[in-house]
Amino acid sequence: MSNDNDNPRNALLREDGALTRLVRSNRLLFGLVFFGLLSAISVTASFFIRFVVLGPFLITNLDQWQTWWLAMLGVTVPVRMIFFWLIGLHKTSWRFASVEDLPPLVGAVMSSSALIIVALWVFWDKPGGFPLSTLAIDMVLCLGLVTIGRFAYRLLSGPSDKLGNTEPRKRAIVVGAGNAGALTIEAMQSPRLGAFRPVALVDDNVHAQGVRIRGVEVMGTIDQIKDVARRRRAEVIVLAIPSATTAALYRILNHCQETKLPIKSVPSFWEIMESEKPGIRRVEDFSTTSLLQRRPVSGDVGVIREMLRGRRVLVTGAAGSIGSELCRQVVENGAAYLACLDKDENGLFRIEQELRDRERPTAFDFLLGDIKNPQRLERFFAVARPDIVFHAAAYKHVPILQFHPEEAVLNNVFGTRQLADMALRHGVQRFVMISTDKSVNPTNVMGATKQVAEKVILTRQNQDDGATSFSIIRFGNVLGSAGSVVELFHKQIKKGGPVTVTHPDMERFFMTIAEAVQLVLFAAAMGRGGDVFILDMGASVKIDDLARQMIRLSGLTPDVDVGITYTGLRPGEKLFEELWAEGEEPAPTENPGIMVARRQAIDVAEVESGAGRLVEAAMLGRRDDIWTELLALVPDFSGLTGQDAETPPEVPAPEGPREDSVNRAAETPNNLP
């Protein structure tokens, strides 16, 4: 189970391949032979020191000297091997030797030496002037050699933090006997995690059973954790398996939850490696994000820095979940200037405070406005003069947009078209649109409008001689976004339930926001124009399973402490999302987390005229025309039509075209920055 050793970035402690596996499988034999050899060396060296170095040389008969030496070897080596076996010295981990291993080691050497002295005195009735000081020298030498032998591998493997206070507080079982498990125990035996006392390890590796790491024994496998917790009177479980797969975590959690103990975890492996001081410095409550977290994004971040360094960047939807993370990573990767555009005043204020606190050399503008307002956009582009535009502004909530298709069209289609045209007019080098898996074979207005927006972007690629590179990046749900299912479940569990699940078979793709945004930046750097990139979302997750695990992580029992209610599919929802449409045939890229879809033929004139009619229908509030144009532009749209929609509150049509009202509202004050 100690799969954190598989990570290619693991440079903390590295195993020695086939030799290490051979030693592990024959640990008893190798251990006893090695320590027996050290004991023989100490006996021989003690004779040399006593009779040659210290003198005087008392032996006149070489046969007598040889007799004494062989007698000492014949008694000392077997006795010491027995004592080393009794204290389990061969079971302790060489890589993670610690001062906690010293007391039994000192006791074994001293006890065996005392027994040897008694044995020689009682059973060898003619010592013939043999000095017992030789045995004292042997004891000191043996203790030194065995200690050096135990710590040599660890010292050669690299430095570790200075050990500190080991005062126990909560008795902890550590899950995982790999590198992360060893580092976790080390941290618990220092002031960093002094609130925990490690009392046992569990690991599914058969060769790890019985091994001690820094004095803590591997006492069983994962499925035995309940019994181990009872025997060791554990108070908390700490998961030290930061690179375990989601499937493995589900299995591990099922066993851990049988103990009814709180479950904590170490940070993700890449957080450990990328921190200023690598190592385990905290444990945190095991969260849903931890459950769904995947291996780190691979790829050379240098290509991202090369794309952004010294550039002027505009991010729309900058106050949202994806947009705000884009802003953070753009700043961290060396952009010279960042313009954050959003119509959410409070959200824009929050991201402004956060970014200014980072004390980076990036210059900022925080622009309050709506992407549907062409005159404001013109002023914003004139101020920002962006080289790169990341378009993350969009309406995303499926049930709401299903009943307000006008707003979905105006924001997701008209706003996107406005931005793309501004990018062409102002000589933007790269334009990157954030899309969604709901645009594939859409069953709702939100997905259909995002597919139209994708087509609008693709029609812009060859305009103005292709000076602007347009790319689309499509992915599924992100963890931690506002209004996400995870956020909803947390609130419902906190209130005592019930947790509302749409359907027991519903599945969704999930990805952390930080991972999604880093992949967006990788894809943007790869874009050559007209590309549709698809992020590898991994395996889909059953929402019902997610809800039940979240309830268990809260220390409660599903269907007992917190009920689960199935509400049924809402208008526009489907059981399974798809990341690409039939015929797109995604191909791999140089980054394993990103695929590129095969380009589809786009009838530019048809898309332009259809999108124009769609926007006009939305501005005039002609809902039937909206459905008609959506179905014409998106042939795979299987959403509700105007005739069979569950009728929402009627929205009266404005007296004139919405564009006029938008323009009237676009009067720009002269003091715009």
How confident is the model at residue 552, as a pLDDT?
A: 80
Reading the block at residue 479, the tokens are 């963890």
Alpha helical stretches, state H, 232-373: 246-256, 269-274, 288-292, 302-308, 321-332, 345-357
**Phi and psi at residue 596, in whole multiples of 5°?**
-120, 130
Q: What pLDDT, in 10s, does the model give residues 295-321?
A: 555 667 889 999 999 999 999 999 998
Give this prediction's pTM.
Answer: 0.63
How confident is the model at residue 629, as a pLDDT?
A: 94
- The answer to whether the CB of 84 falls within 8 A of the CB of 31 is yes
* Amino acid in the structure at residue 531: D
Tokens 């874009």 map to which residue? Answer: 527
Is the pLDDT score of 7 beyond 80? no
Is the pLDDT score of 387 beyond 50? yes
Tokens 């591998």 map to which residue? Answer: 153
Q: Which residue has the higher pLDDT, 272 or 217?
A: 217
> Rounded to an integer, what distance in angstroms lies between the CA atom of residue 659 and that of residue 414?
10
User: To 5 degrees, how large is the angle CA 668–CA 669–CA 671?
Assistant: 130
The CATH T-level fold of domain 170-286 is Rossmann fold (3.40.50)
How confident is the model at residue 628, as a pLDDT?
A: 93
The predicted model gives 108-112 an average pLDDT of 79
Torsion angle defined by CA atoms of residues 618, 623, 626 and 631, in that order, rounded to the nearest 10 degrees = 160
Is the pLDDT score of 272 beyond 60? no
The predicted model gives 528-556 an average pLDDT of 83
Q: Do domains 170-286 and 364-533+550-586+599-605 have the same CATH topology?
A: yes
> Rounded to an integer, what distance in angstroms lies between the CA atom of residue 213 and that of residue 208?
10
- The answer to whether the CB of 274 falls within 8 A of the CB of 10 is no
Mean pLDDT of the chain: 78
How confident is the model at residue 151, as a pLDDT?
A: 66
Buried b vs exposed e over 118-129: b needs ≥16 C-beta within 10 Å?
eebeeeeeeeee
Q: Which of 605, 597, 492, 508 is nearest to 551 (CA)?
A: 492
How confident is the model at residue 669, as a pLDDT?
A: 34
Per-position DSSP letters for 346-364, written without gaps between them:
HHHHHHHHHHHHT--S-EE
Domain ranges of the chain: 17-157, 170-286, 364-533+550-586+599-605
Where is average pLDDT lowest: 7-21, 32-46, 371-385?
A: 7-21
How confident is the model at residue 17, as a pLDDT?
A: 43
Per CATH, domain 364-533+550-586+599-605 is 3.40.50.720: yes
Q: What pLDDT, in 10s, does the model give residues 541-550?
A: 888 988 888 8
> Rounded to an integer, what distance in angstroms lies between the CA atom of residue 41 and that of residue 137?
12
Q: Which residue has the higher pLDDT, 464 or 434?
A: 434
